Structure 1
Amino acid sequence: MRFPSKEQIAALRERYPRGTRVELLGMDDPQAPPKGTMGEILRVDDAGQLLVRWETGSSLSLIPGVDSFRIMQKGGRS
């Protein structure tokens, strides 16, 4: 696994701030919520994964460029 640079992490944190609402379009994971599930980004970790609190109650992370999702509403800064 190749980890993103500090600059790439900073760009991800800018693009996906805390509170951003996303819709899951697809994820290759048996633990994944159903397609169409809405979630809220809690943070971007140091590996570049998006920690999401899903409306189903789970908190499975998204991997940009691997998992399929779309931004529904941009979050604010915190």
Structure 2
Amino acid sequence: MRFPSREQITALRQRYPRGTKVELLGMDDPQAPPTGTMGEILGVDDAGQLLVRWETGSSLSLIPGIDSFRIVQKGGRS
């Protein structure tokens, strides 16, 4: 597994700030929430994964470039 650089992590944190609302379009994981599930970004970890609180109660992270999702509403800084 190749970890992103510090600069890439910073860019991800700017693109997906805490509070950003996302819709899941597809994830190749047997524990994934159903397609169309809405979630809220809680942050970006040091591996570049998006920490998400899904409306189903799941907390499965998104991996940009692997999982398919769209931003529904951009979050703000807190």
TM-score by length of 2: 0.99
CA distance in 1, matches of 2:76, 2:59: 20
Identity of counterpart residues, as a percentage? 90
SS in 1 for 2:10: helix
Runs of 5+ in structure 1 lacking a partner? none
Partner in structure 2 of residue 38 of structure 1: 38
CA RMSD of aligned residues (A): 0.3
| Paired position in structure 1 for 2:49 | 49
Where does the alignment leave 5 or more consecutive residues of structure 2 unmatched?
A: none
SS in 1 for 2:17: coil
Give the match for residue 21 of structure 1: 21
Runs of 4+ in 1 over 3 A off after TM superposition: none
1:3 to partner: Cα distance: 0.2
Provide the C-alpha distance between the structure 1 equivalents of 2:31 and 2:46, rounded to a whole number of angstroms: 22
Separation in structure 2 between the aligned mates of residue 59 and residue 51 of structure 1, nearest angstrom: 7
Q: What's the offset of the Cα at 1:7?
A: 0.1
Shift in Å, 1:24: 0.1
